[in-house]
Structure 1
Amino acid sequence: MATGWAGDGAVQDQIDATVKDGIKRARSQLPQGPSLTHCEECDAPIPEPRRKAVPGVRLCVPCQEARDEEDGGHSGYNRRGSKDSQLR
């Protein structure tokens, strides 16, 4: 299939690069270092299974859920970008 100046597989290469960038950004936001034994927000104990599952964890589950809800209110991309909206 002719794609103009783009080489074969250029679209897939762009998609792959976008996915890799997203993964890299998400991993950079994960906590790192030793986990805390008590939540830095409310001082509740953090269970051992959570500390093992999430290295560098700093918050208990309720505090983490509250923070995720605060941070999750916006997105970095257009979820409504359907084919119909692009044709307008």
Structure 2
Amino acid sequence: MGDWLDDAKAISELERERSIAAQLARPRPTGPSRTHCLDCEESIPERRRALGGIVRCTPCESLSEQGKRR
């Protein structure tokens, strides 16, 4: 029988796997990227725009995913 630390590690690994699976299941944006952020109008870096379908800068996208706005 494992101790509490082994149980905590197993739970942590399971949560991480579920989180990764949820991110991979999300639809990825497609199409051309904007050159400036939809929310703050700051320039979106070329490396980020190369992903395709990008409409927000990284800080605004993070806030958007958390349900907040700049």
What TM-score bracket applies, with the shorter chain setting the length?
0.5 to 0.7
Structure with higher RCO (Cα < 8 A, 6+ apart): 2
What TM-score does the superposition give when structure 1 sets the normalisation length? 0.46
Gaps of 5+ in 2: 1-20
What TM-score does the superposition give when structure 2 sets the normalisation length? 0.57
The CA deviation at 1:39 is 0.3
Q: CA RMSD in A?
A: 2.0
Q: What residue number does 2:65 align with?
A: 68
The CA deviation at 1:65 is 0.6
- Listed as ranges, the matches of 1:29-40 within 5 Å are 30-40=28-38
Distance 1:66 1:40 in 2: 13
Number of matched pairs: 46
Would you identify which runs of 4 or more consecutive aligned residues in structure 1 move more than 3 Å? none
Which structure's CA Rg is the greater one?
A: 1
Gaps of 5+ in 1: 1-18, 72-88
